[in-house]
Amino acid sequence: MHRNVENWERLVSVAAGAGLVAAGWRRSGAARRAAATVGTGLIARGVSGYCPVNAATGRGLTRGDTRQELGGSHGVFVQESVTIEAIIEKALKFNPRRDPKILRRSLMHNLRQQADGSWRWKYDRSRFQRLNQETHLAERARLADGLSAIACPTLVVRGGESDVFHDDDAERLASRLPNARWVKIPGAGHTVQGDNPKGLVAELRGFMAKGN
């Protein structure tokens, strides 16, 4: 299984996944299992550096992205002389919608700098190193099977400029949930909460104000 996710995307995936897992612990039943499964999938994407969507669409690491692998069982791929500023700069070039302050805060909650100047995740990576594509797809299938059990009102959010979650994807997901609708947030890619947080908050407030 080869890596096909950029370093900055891995960081964002882990940050989003960790937040979803944490939110899931405050719920119960199917909602908790769904949040845990999706969050785990995002964390796995970030830690492993592998994304099945990227593999299917041919997306991968950009040319000229130099990396080195640290030896030993705890080794991780890092950029040479990597810094948080360099990661933020690269992320903003790829996605200028992001707020540098929000991106920095997210990264600093999920990384710890080592004595040699490299950065490592704050949590145990061993499980995700063993997570292969077959296991990942099986977990996604189990998640889909549980959608009909989520009875609470649900808002499916799609970034209007996302190239991995399209209108038909949002429509299909909402249709499989018993009490759901979907909205499109303009000016946002796949990471809606970072690209257009004000637009997301506005939709969430409207959703909650309707008695959901």
The last residue of a domain, from among 129, 147, 165: 147
Residues 6+ apart with CB under 8 A from 96: none
Let me know whether 41 and 88 are in one domain.
yes
Let me know whether 85 and 179 are in one domain.
no
Burial tier of 198 (Cβ tally within 10 Å: 0-12, 13-18, 19+): exposed
**C-alpha to C-alpha distance for 27 and 19, rounded to whole angstroms:** 13
Helix (H) or strand (E) holding 46, with range, is helix 29-48
Place of tokens 């080592």: 114
Q: Which residues of the chain have pLDDT under 70?
A: 1-8, 24, 26, 32, 52-82, 124-131, 211-212
Q: What is the pLDDT of residue 69?
A: 33
The last residue of a domain, from among 147, 171, 188: 147
Let me know whether 37 and 107 are in one domain.
yes
Question: Measuring CA to CA, which residue among 122, 150, 121 is closest to residue 38?
Answer: 150
Let me know whether 188 and 105 are in one domain.
no
Let me know whether 155 and 143 are in one domain.
no
Decide the pairing of beta strands 77-79 and 111-113: unpaired
User: Which own/partner pairs from 48-51 qualify as long-range (CB within 8 Å, at least 24 positions apart)?
Assistant: 48/1, 48/3, 48/128, 48/129, 48/131, 49/3, 49/4, 49/5, 49/10, 49/77, 50/1, 50/2, 50/3, 50/4, 50/5, 50/133, 51/4, 51/5
Let me know whether 13 and 94 are in one domain.
yes
Q: What is the pLDDT of residue 141?
A: 85
Let me know whether 125 and 160 are in one domain.
no
**C-alpha to C-alpha distance for 186 and 184, rounded to whole angstroms:** 6
How many domains does the chain contain in total? 2
Contact, 17 vs 10, CB < 8 A? no
Q: What is the pLDDT of residue 153?
A: 94
Residue 40 phi, psi (nearest 5): -65, -40
The last residue of a domain, from among 147, 167, 195: 147
**C-alpha to C-alpha distance for 188 and 205, rounded to whole angstroms:** 18
The residue range of the domain holding 184 is 151-212
Let me know whether 140 and 159 are in one domain.
no
Whether the full predicted model's pTM is greater than 0.75, yes or no, is no
Give tens-digit pLDDT for 87-115. 778 778 877 888 888 878 877 787 777 77
Let me know whether 132 and 174 are in one domain.
no
Let me know whether 170 and 111 are in one domain.
no
Question: Measuring CA to CA, which residue among 42, 55, 40 is closest to residue 4?
Answer: 55
Residue 156, classed as helix, strand or coil, is strand
Let me know whether 49 and 101 are in one domain.
yes
Let me know whether 33 and 109 are in one domain.
yes
Q: What is the pLDDT of residue 169?
A: 92
